[in-house]
Amino acid sequence: MPPNTTASSGKQSGKSGRKKGRKVRLLLIVLVLALIGGVGFGAFWSISTVRASFPQTKGSITLEGLSGPVDVKRDGYGIPQVYASSDEDLFMAQGYVQAQDRFYEMDVRRHMTAGRLSEMFGEGQVDNDEFLRTLGWHRVAEEEYKSTISAETKKYLDAYAKGVNAYLAGKDGEEISLEYAALGFANDYKPEEWTPIDSLAWLKAMAWDLRGNMQDEIDRALMTSRLGPKQIADLYPQYPYDRNKAIVQEGTYDELTKTWTDGSGTSQNAGGAAQGTGGTGTGTGGTGTNTGGTGTGGTGTGTGTGTGAGTAGASSGSSAVQTQLTGLYDVLEDLPEAVGVNGNGIGSNSWVVAGSHTITGKPLLANDPHLSASLPSVWYQMGLHCKSVSQKCQYDVAGYTFAGMPGVVIGHNRDVSWGMTNSGVDVTDLYLEKLTGDGYQYGSKVLPFESREETIQVAGGSDKKIVVRTTNNGPLLSDRSNELVQVGRKATVDRDAPDRGDGYGIALRWTALEPGTTMDAVFAMNKAADWNGFRKAAALFDVPSQNLIYADTKGHIGYQLPGKIPTRGKGDGSIPAPGWDTRYRWNGYIDQDELPYEYDPDRGYIVTANQAVVDEKYPYTLTTDWGYGTRAQRLTSLIESKIKGGGKISTEDMRQMQMDNSSEIAKLLVPLLLKIDVKDKHIREAQKLLEGWDYTQDADSAAAAYFNSVWRNILKLAFGNKLPKELRVKGQCLSVEPVDSTGPADEDRRVRECGRRDADQAQPDGGDRWFEVVRRIIDDQDNAWWSTPKLRNQKAADTRDELFARAMRDARWELTAKLGKDIDTWSWGRLHRLFLKNQTLGTEGPGFVKYLLNRGPWKLGGGEATVNATGWNAAGGYEVVWVPSMRMIVNLGDLDKSKWINLTGASGHAYNAHYTDQTGKWVKGELLTWSFSNKAVQDSTSDTLLLKP
């Protein structure tokens, strides 16, 4: 479901180059469209042009390649339900219909995953293409298609591609999408045929945005330039297991059999192929092993020996790591998002309640993934039905999928339902590599790089060739910046690191850069009939590792953690590792039967909301960076309050839980804020808003507006102003304290530094990690973090309450400037707004084009780490950064009484009736009826299209 400390002289030139790149992005399009805009709107954006690409939804169309007729039934929201008589016809029709609604989105995505955006948008995308070519998503997808996925999956991918290409056949660009009409004026770009590799590569983009703790790994290393180990530990507290429960509470790990046992004491083999990797190591000193796993359905083995030199390598505090990671972050933050916010803030809610606690007597399952707000939504709602389920046609499934990919990613079939949340499991490691000539040091030897040349074609410009170098840990990301190469040559490192040689680079080890079987898992999940079938499907779901929840029509519920999750020889993946030290290599992957799961737990419900999966007794390190469980604990409380009161949970109860706006940090802080003696009448007036407030962050709440501003200012004063410039908001300049100090410093020792990070990526972001940071020190009035320096016309704060008083004052005047003097007119929704932007021309085109393609704003309730998680970044402002990208509630007692909603609509065509026709209901928390049975679908059908062979 898509992410820097250098020498200042080099940094300025590098930054200005990137800014220049942004300005020239889509330059040809901007110039042409501006010219057209000057001629007049009607001369180009005519009604006929706008409507030319709208899909045909009635009548009949002949498609070469179909073996039989296919019916496409759309409801009043344009959501299609496809009926076919063979699997190949079903997925061919899926490709055709998704291309009707979303091909431009699909085309942009495939150019992104292949590192070919420059072919569409010109030289401003070259840097992004270089980085994506270095990652090599498309190459990995090619290898998957050749050697990893099943013959059946290949057949379905081929059929899907055939359907997309049947739609494209004979069409000019403007007949496909309005955006192509604009591109046609800027260059001679024409869409090419779809391939199965294009579908597989999209899974890599999804995995990238859900990749785990890579951002925290970078941030921790960057913090060392200004903070000491104790201070960094303060900002990354341990997970509060005593207060916020892990997902799996009733299962146990058996050390003797090396299997996971569910709450009933039963060990269930998933039947999936074990995953193992081998490797070799050379050097002098110790030994190491790499082992593969074993399991029903396959084995994996690997051995490796190494005699590492025993060097400690560069610590996270070395300037080599600092300088390389600063530049790496600059590259990451400019990458286009796939489904997330470049790895930041990705969350989700899902929970399932057993029939013993529901009105229907059968399970209810809810899911709402939290992803970047995009237009169109990343999700596409669809039903895929065999007219008669048989060996020839095996599917009867509906739910959410991605345009460009066959099958259903989240949803239900006639027997089972499933949902997903991001597990946060650590499947990426950064390695600092010592470069020497044409190779890199590993142990006592210098190994040669694996190298390949890539050619990037540029619309309106000259081709660019790059060389991609790869170590045994993965691609060398630092090669994508000349500045990083120079810095690596000059960087200083700890004394135990090897000699500088030709400098240092950063390599990435990531599970998704190895061919996998996730596409197989999607199809297997779509036709799973029971828990065993579901777990077998989950065993194939290697990346990204997601929390999978389950329910079936027989009344069972369950949870499974799937994924290719590495085991490490040394280190825990929390900070970059020394690539030259053989002890830091990955040893293999956790076997499927050792991964945590639960089946029919006694408590009768399972909640996953990015909290810890297991407690501290589990023998493997899954990550050091769980979400802190705020949303999960709130959902648990809501469920238990209903159950303990003797009530039964309904679909409406589940919907209301999804829309819960309660602020957990407000419950902690407001009583303390109200005790502060405020002298200024204007600030006292604002403080009174908090009296009697129920901590609910509704869009029309003035109290929520003021509290969140206070919270933002508390974070800024206590932590934000003390972070290194690489983590602070770009352009915000401060006189900062010297390194290793959280308290005030002498004025003449302070230095002026300006932030370098985009507003929606900066820290402190205000998420539940920061809830936990504040909770840990809240009773310590004199903690050093509460201290602030004396600034012009402002007294220093020495205690918690002094800092809180200053935050209340700053919040009052901030909201006065933003919302006006009259607090009666304040509301959270006026600050907390959602804008939906077309992901190419809507962000980079001229103003009038943005006006035509973009929508909003909408005033939203909810907030950070709230169940209704309309995320905002406290360092950068109040506007919505990510959202519940869809919401669904599946009723396993009567599937036709299930509910769903999408963030936008089925269509990617601006001015189509279904462009944003679900957004208004989504904002209000309303859900649409989700028809599934033949009769229910027929009753809700507005348009029927017959696809004929």
Question: pLDDT tens-digit profile of 111-147?
Answer: 999 999 999 988 888 988 999 999 999 999 999 999 9
pLDDT of residue 576: 79
The two tokens of residue 155 are 């057949």
Nearest residue to 802 (alpha-carbon basis) of 790, 817, 821, 787? 787
Give 775's pLDDT tier (boundaries 50, 70, 90).
Answer: very high
Q: How far apart are CA 916 and CA 836, in angstroms?
A: 9
Mean pLDDT on 755-764: 90
**3-state class of 910 per DSSP?**
coil
Beta pairing, strands 380-386 & 298-299: unpaired
pLDDT of residue 565: 95
Contact call for residues 592 and 609 (beta carbons, < 8 A): no
pLDDT of residue 879: 96
Contact call for residues 811 and 687 (beta carbons, < 8 A): no
Sign of the torsion angle spanned by Cα atoms 230, 232, 235, 239: negative
Q: How far apart are CA 654 and CA 351, in angstroms?
A: 9
Q: Rounded to 5 degrees, what are φ and ψ at 412?
A: -155, 155
Residue type at 751 in one-letter notation: V
The two tokens of residue 886 are 């869809």
Rg (CA), the chain: 27
Answer whether residue 367 shows pLDDT above 80.
yes
List the single range of 158-162, 299-303, 361-365, 779-783 with lowest mean pLDDT: 299-303
pLDDT tens for each residue of 415-424: 999 999 999 8
Answer whether residue 291 shows pLDDT above 60.
no
Q: Which residues pair with 176 in a beta bridge?
A: none
Mean pLDDT on 36-63: 71
CB atoms within 10 A of CB 446: 16
Q: How far apart are CA 687 and CA 60, in angstroms?
A: 65
pLDDT of residue 293: 35
The two tokens of residue 91 are 């997925």
Give 22's pLDDT tier (boundaries 50, 70, 90).
Answer: very low
pLDDT tens for each residue of 778-819: 999 999 999 988 765 667 889 999 999 999 999 999 999 999
Contact call for residues 450 and 288 (beta carbons, < 8 A): no
Nearest residue to 607 (alpha-carbon basis) of 926, 367, 769, 865? 367
Note the Cα 505 to chain centre separation in Å.
26
Give 249's pLDDT tier (boundaries 50, 70, 90).
Answer: very high
Q: How far apart are CA 872 and CA 821, in angstroms?
A: 24
Q: How far apart are CA 484 and CA 469, in angstroms?
A: 14
Answer whether residue 640 shows pLDDT above 50.
yes
Contact call for residues 375 and 384 (beta carbons, < 8 A): no
How is residue 144 annotated by DSSP? I
pLDDT tens for each residue of 375-386: 999 999 999 999
**3-state class of 661 per DSSP?**
coil
Beta pairing, strands 597-599 & 252-254: unpaired
CA atoms within 13 A on the CB side of 559: 33
Give 190's pLDDT tier (boundaries 50, 70, 90).
Answer: confident
CA-angle at 894, arms to 890 and 900, nearest 5°: 30
Mean pLDDT on 555-573: 94
**3-state class of 3 per DSSP?**
coil
pLDDT of residue 264: 64
Answer whether residue 295 shows pLDDT above 60.
no
Q: How far apart are CA 653 and CA 310, in angstroms?
A: 58
Specify burial of residue 698 (Cβ count, 10 A radius: 0-12, 13-18, 19+): middle
Contact call for residues 562 and 541 (beta carbons, < 8 A): yes
Give 252's pLDDT tier (boundaries 50, 70, 90).
Answer: confident
Torsion-angle region of residue 622: left (phi > 0), alpha (psi -120 to 50) or beta? alpha
pLDDT tens for each residue of 671-706: 999 999 999 999 999 999 999 999 999 999 999 999
Torsion-angle region of residue 443: left (phi > 0), alpha (psi -120 to 50) or beta? left
Residue type at 370 in one-letter notation: H
Mean pLDDT on 479-504: 57
Nearest residue to 240 (alpha-carbon basis) of 607, 626, 618, 766? 626
Peptide bond connecting 544 to the previous residue in cis, omega within 30 degrees of 0: yes
Helix (H) or strand (E) holding 371: strand 364-372
pLDDT of residue 327: 59
Mean pLDDT on 57-61: 97
Contact call for residues 338 and 857 (beta carbons, < 8 A): no
pLDDT tens for each residue of 428-476: 888 889 888 889 999 999 999 999 999 999 998 999 999 999 999 999 9
Answer whether residue 69 shows pLDDT above 90.
yes
Q: Which residues pair with 446 in a beta bridge?
A: 441
Higher per-residue pLDDT: 202 or 363: 363
Give 212's pLDDT tier (boundaries 50, 70, 90).
Answer: low
Answer whether residue 306 shows pLDDT above 50.
no
Beta pairing, strands 59-62 & 941-948: parallel
How is residue 582 annotated by DSSP? G
**3-state class of 308 per DSSP?**
coil
Q: What is the mean pLDDT of the chain?
A: 85
Answer whether residue 501 shows pLDDT above 50.
yes
Beta pairing, strands 577-578 & 428-436: parallel
pLDDT of residue 947: 98
Answer whether residue 304 shows pLDDT above 90.
no
pLDDT of residue 52: 83
Q: Rounded to 5 degrees, what are φ and ψ at 10?
A: -70, -35
Give 156's pLDDT tier (boundaries 50, 70, 90).
Answer: very high
The two tokens of residue 419 are 């949902």
Answer whether residue 273 shows pLDDT above 90.
no
Q: How far apart are CA 717 and CA 729, in angstroms?
A: 14
| Number of helical H runs and strand E runs in the chain | 30, 36
Q: How many residues does the chain have?
A: 949
CA distances for 37 relative to 33, 41, 513, 844, angstroms: 6, 6, 44, 15
pLDDT of residue 270: 59
Would you state the torsion angle of the CA atoms of residues 76, 82, 83, 86, taken in this order, to the nearest 10 degrees? 180
Q: How far apart are CA 710 and CA 814, in angstroms?
A: 10
Specify burial of residue 125 (Cβ count, 10 A radius: 0-12, 13-18, 19+): buried
Contact call for residues 760 and 876 (beta carbons, < 8 A): yes
How is residue 649 annotated by DSSP? B
Measured distance between the N- and C-terminal CA atoms of the chain, rounded to whole angstroms: 34
Mean pLDDT on 864-882: 94
Note the Cα 359 to chain centre separation in Å.
34
Q: How far apart are CA 79 and CA 112, in angstroms?
A: 26
CB atoms within 10 A of CB 742: 21
pLDDT of residue 552: 98
List the single range of 226-240, 298-312, 512-526, 592-606 with lowest mean pLDDT: 298-312
CB atoms within 10 A of CB 190: 12
pLDDT of residue 312: 33
**3-state class of 840 per DSSP?**
coil
Q: Which residues pair with 752 in a beta bridge?
A: 735
pLDDT of residue 209: 74
Q: Which residues contact 722 (CB under 8 A, 6 or more apart)?
A: 226, 227, 736, 737, 742, 785
Q: How far apart are CA 430 and CA 392, in angstroms?
A: 46
Give 1's pLDDT tier (boundaries 50, 70, 90).
Answer: very low
Give, to the nearest 10 degrees, the angle between helix 319-333 and helix 214-223.
130
pLDDT of residue 30: 43
